[in-house]
Chains A and B, each alone.
Chain A
């Protein structure tokens, strides 16, 4: 038993090192002078902000930060609002076509994005939406997973609650916003975290619909800067740029760790 527990600690400690050390290395390297890159030990005697200053001069990274914050927030708000509406209709309203809509929700969950990527781009071009926020937000404005999460949660709320509220003359919108949403905060948090994180971290879709530098999202700009040749052979600057992407989500993760882990775990089980 003791031997087993020691083996357990060895596995866990080495795994923790493997998962965390590269990230620490990246963070510290972003503060190191260029000529000190390329060592296993990340510590340095002379930490500097030089890489950050260079990045701020080279690319509009604060603009990209604002773009990403806006796009991720707007997408998250939209997903929560519309998924809650649809989820409520599917869970607690009787209407013709309800089962058909639910079947569509389930079917679209399994739809691979490769199938629609090219036509979706063509649609954005047709709408004249390239290089706009709309191109980034609209195609992600509702998620099938979000609808499912809300439907499941709302199904667990007793019917009597709605009937009582309807008796009092409450409209369906009032029932949803005053009664259902406040007691479904975990669902809001789950859908919110998943959507915000996916939007914040996504690069493929921005690369396809955004070309203008000042409209780029943060990870997209960082990729364009680092892989586009501008920061070739300058890992310190690449990592400084990357830290702009990592720091906000990492802070959010450290603050709301339990919710992050629970949300991701549930997404896999439902997906």
Chain B
């Protein structure tokens, strides 16, 4: 009982097409519709024209959330690149226990962000936290990691770096290991210092990995939700309010579906712009 000819392909793709129509095409269309309405999920949606967009532009809390994301990225991205590159360079040497180290750095990657957030809430606890117990032991004053509005977002950015670096090490490592050993030999014969070698040989060859890390961390930064939801609720003083958390609040605390969808659409658009700029800056060789 063999189905003949060209229709088998369509038949095989049918589940995917139904899935796409239901869970992607329809929601995207409905999101664009919601931008123009006010709707509490219960009463009939009410057309408001550009009202949601106009409100968004003047909504200080939305811009605060966006600024918070920027602060997050400014700490998180460089930290991850430096740490992952440093570890990858160390791992690329002929070193014993390479397998163990690589596996160890990867453990946080497989653990749920919910658990990581709960763990670091305690690590960052001002009085009883792991970090402050250590800091006090060496005679320094305790840091209010999650309760000071200037420190909380960078602290969360550090935690996210801790969770993700293990994955990014892999990307850099495969970049570094793809460098032919002769290139390093040649550099050494030419009298290059380790510093020159790093900038002239390693960095250009890990550029694709660098691009990947920057883009993935940017997306992760814009997706930030569970971490502030669990650790700070967006506080203190909205300093850890992420855009997704703000969207969540509008949808599920204020039942303002139209405005929540507007935030989602705006965030998606901003993400697209930022990732495009990053691609221009990093992906093409600068020479």
**Please, how many angstroms separate the alpha-carbon atoms of A123 and B261 in the complex?**
13
**Cα distance, A141 to B105, chains bound together (Å):** 30
- Cβ of B28 within 8 Å of any chain A Cβ, yes or no, is yes
B27 proximity list for chain A (CB < 8 A): 115-116, 119-120, 123
Report the minimum CB–CB distance from A17 to chain B (whole Å).
9
B281 at interface, CB cutoff 8 A: no
Chain B window 77-95, contacts with chain A (Cβ cutoff 8 Å), 1 for yes, 0 for no: 0000001001101110111
Q: Which of B3, B20, B41, B95 contacts A9 (CB 8 A)?
A: B95
Q: How far is the CA of A144 from the CA of B108 in the complex (A)?
A: 25
Residue interface bits B93-137, CB-to-A below 8 A is 1, else 0: 111010011111111111111110111101101011110011001
> Is the CB–CB distance between A261 and B106 below 8 Å?
yes
A19-B107 in contact (CB<8A)? yes
A18 CB within 8 Å of chain B:
yes
> By the criterion CB–CB under 8 Å, are B90 and A242 in contact?
no
Chain B residue numbers with a CB within 8 Å of A89 are: 8-10, 12-13
In chain B, positions 153-172 with a C-beta closer than 8 Å to chain A are 162, 165-167, 170-171
**Chain A positions 196 through 233: 1 when the CB is less than 8 Å from some CB of chain B, otherwise 0:** 01001111100110000000000110110011000000
Chain A residues with Cβ below 8 Å from B83 are 15
**Interface set, chain A 85-100, CB cutoff 8 A to B:** 85-86, 88-90, 93-98
The 8 Å CB contact of A40, one of B94, B103, B133, is: B133
How far does the Cβ of B249 sit from chain A's closest Cβ, in whole Å?
Answer: 12
B110 touches A82 (CB 8 A): no
A253 to B109, CA, bound (A): 10
A114 and B264 contact, Cβ closer than 8 Å, known pairs A40-B137, A89-B9, A197-B110: yes
Let me know if B115 and A25 touch, CB within 8 A: no
Interface residue B206 (Cβ < 8 Å from any Cβ of A): no
Q: Which of A119-161 contact B (CB under 8 A)?
A: 119-123, 125, 138-139, 141-142, 147
Hey, which chain B residues are within 8 Å of A7, CB to CB?
90
CA distance A111 to B244 in the complex (A): 15
Judge whether A22 and B130 touch: CB under 8 Å: yes
- Number of A-B residue pairs at CB separation under 8 A: 272
Task: Decide yes or no whether B174 CB sits under 8 A from chain A.
Answer: yes
Which residues of B (197-237) have their CB < 8 Å from a CB of A?
212, 216, 219, 222-223, 225-226, 229-230
Is B152's beta carbon under 8 Å from chain A?
no
CB-CB under 8 A from A271, the residues of chain B are: 216
Question: Is A164 interfacial (CB 8 A cutoff)?
Answer: no
B192 at the interface (CB under 8 A from A): no
Write out the residue numbers on chain B whose beta carbons fall within 8 Å of the beta carbon of A95. Answer: 6-10, 13
A22 & B119 in contact (Cβ 8 Å cutoff): yes
Give CA–CA (A101, B21) in the complex, Å: 12
| Most chain A CB atoms below 10 A, which of B3, B6, B27 | B27
Among listed A50-58, A59-67, A182-190, A244-252, interface-contacting one = A244-252
Given A89-B9, A117-B264, A268-B216, the answer on whether A242 and B170 have CB atoms closer than 8 Å is no
The A interface, classified by DSSP as helix, strand, loop or mixed, is: helix
Within the assembled complex, what's the spacing in Å between the Cα atoms of A82 and B103? 31
The size class of the interface chain B forms with chain A is: 35 or more
**How far apart sit A95 and B100, CA to CA, in the bound complex (Å)?**
48
Expressed in whole angstroms, the Cα–Cα distance for A123 and B249 within the complex equals 19
The residues of B that contact A253 with a CB separation of less than 8 Å are 106-107, 110
Tell me whether B114 and A245 are in contact (CB under 8 A): yes
Q: Are A20 and B111 in contact (CB under 8 A)?
A: no
Chain A residues near B257 (CB-CB < 8 A)? 118, 122
Q: A25 and B130 in contact (CB under 8 A), knowing A5-B95, A261-B102?
A: yes
Which residue from B91, B216, B230, B243 sits with its C-beta under 8 Å from A223?
B230
Residues of B within 8 A of A (CB): 1-3, 6-10, 12-13, 15-17, 19-20, 22-24, 26-28, 30-31, 34, 41, 83, 86-87, 89-91, 93-95, 97, 100-115, 117-120, 122-123, 125, 127-130, 133-134, 137, 162, 165-167, 170-171, 174, 194, 212, 216, 219, 222-223, 225-226, 229-230, 243-244, 247-248, 251-252, 257, 260-261, 263-265, 267-268, 271-272
26 contacts between A and B (CB under 8 A): A8-B93, A11-B86, A11-B90, A12-B91, A15-B87, A21-B130, A26-B119, A38-B128, A40-B137, A82-B19, A90-B13, A95-B6, A101-B16, A112-B267, A114-B247, A116-B264, A122-B30, A123-B26, A142-B15, A172-B2, A203-B113, A203-B114, A238-B122, A253-B110, A265-B170, A268-B216
- 3 interchain residue pairs of minimum CB distance: A38-B128, A95-B9, A93-B9
* Given pairs A114-B247, A141-B19, 12 additional interface contacts (CB within 8 A): A5-B94, A15-B83, A82-B15, A112-B267, A115-B264, A116-B28, A242-B118, A264-B167, A265-B167, A268-B170, A269-B171, A269-B212
